[in-house]
Amino acid sequence: MAKQTTLTVYTALEADQIKAYQAAFEREYPDIKIQWVRDSTGIITAKLLAEKNNPKADVIWGLAGTSLGLMDKEGMLQPYAPKGLDQISPTMRDAKEVPAWVGMDAFAAAICFNTIEAKKQNLPEPKSWQDLTRPEYAGKIVMPNPASSGTGFLDVSAWLQMFGEEKGWAFMDALHKNIGSYTDSGSKPCNLAASGEFPIGVSFDYRAAKLKAEGAPIQPVFPSEGLGWEVEATAIVRGTKNMEAAQSG
């Protein structure tokens, strides 16, 4: 391309993830400038749906597959078969021959347990979701708000599937009594646990592993009953005026 093209990309990825992707993309495509619009899954999904008849985004990148499935039903996505599609597992892409969306990674729920704060407060390490309803954890847990966070919504969906409707809501009622704070972001509970503001954060595996690798006193816990997982995927917005740039990468 002779002149630089600006590509508007809506994403729910974390800011530190975006930096690495952007650096690699700009090396490969110096004629394309990315303009990021980043927020939590719920907010990005609502924004895209509100803009359905007058889309502002060219590309959706790193958004829950469930959100993109909804947008596909609304006719908002431009089907595209990227290079290397045959290497993608069928569970990580839209099933149509020319898919409306393609997965880029997956994340799973996890509990971030601050071992130092827990020792100070004489708190045992939880081994299960049900453990989080125990009275000693009252006010000690932070979790993402399912109304705005994809991680929070994933948790609620998984609990209802694992425990069933009646027991699932009963579990959430009991858990709610122990929640000290709700956040808009899925990563923030783990960050707050790492900083010691709360000994326990309900978050996701990548954030727990990253903080532990960076030296935070975080022990990732994968509850014994099982956990929810979700595909993060990418798609092209139907009607983009920058189709050639949108198909890059």
**pLDDT tens per residue across span 111-138:** 999 999 999 999 999 999 999 999 999 9
Mean pLDDT of the chain: 94
Q: Given pLDDT bands bounded at 50, 70 and 90, which one contains residue 15?
A: confident
The torsion of the CA quartet 4, 40, 187, 210, rounded to 10 degrees, works out to -20
Mean pLDDT of 35-43: 92
Q: Is the pLDDT at 2 greater than 80, yes or no?
A: no
| Same-domain pairing of 54 and 79 | yes
Confidence at residue 3, expressed as pLDDT on a 0 to 100 scale: 76
Q: Is the pLDDT at 193 greater than 70, yes or no?
A: yes
Which residue from 238, 202, 186 is spatially nearest to 72, judged by alpha carbons?
238
Mean pLDDT of 143-152: 92
Count how many domains the chain has: 2
Q: Is the pLDDT at 187 greater than 50, yes or no?
A: yes
| Same-domain pairing of 30 and 138 | no
| Same-domain pairing of 224 and 126 | yes
Confidence at residue 1, expressed as pLDDT on a 0 to 100 scale: 43
| Same-domain pairing of 158 and 198 | yes
| Same-domain pairing of 125 and 217 | yes
Range(s) of the domain holding residue 202: 108-229
The alpha carbon of residue 121 and the mean position of all alpha carbons in its chain are separated, in whole angstroms, by 30
Percent of the chain with pLDDT over 90: 86
| Same-domain pairing of 154 and 224 | yes
CA distance 39 to 88: 27
pTM for the predicted model, two decimal places: 0.82
Q: Given pLDDT bands bounded at 50, 70 and 90, which one contains residue 148?
A: confident
Percent of the chain with pLDDT over 70: 99
| Same-domain pairing of 14 and 99 | yes
| Same-domain pairing of 118 and 199 | yes
**pLDDT tens per residue across span 61-117:** 999 999 999 999 999 999 999 999 999 999 999 999 999 999 999 999 999 999 999
- Helix (DSSP H) and strand (DSSP E) numbers for the chain: 9, 10
| Same-domain pairing of 20 and 40 | yes
For position 34, which CATH number holds? 3.40.190.10
Answer whether 203's CB lies under 8 Å from 213's CB.
no
| Same-domain pairing of 139 and 163 | yes
| Same-domain pairing of 150 and 195 | yes
| Same-domain pairing of 44 and 95 | yes
Q: Given pLDDT bands bounded at 50, 70 and 90, which one contains residue 37?
A: very high
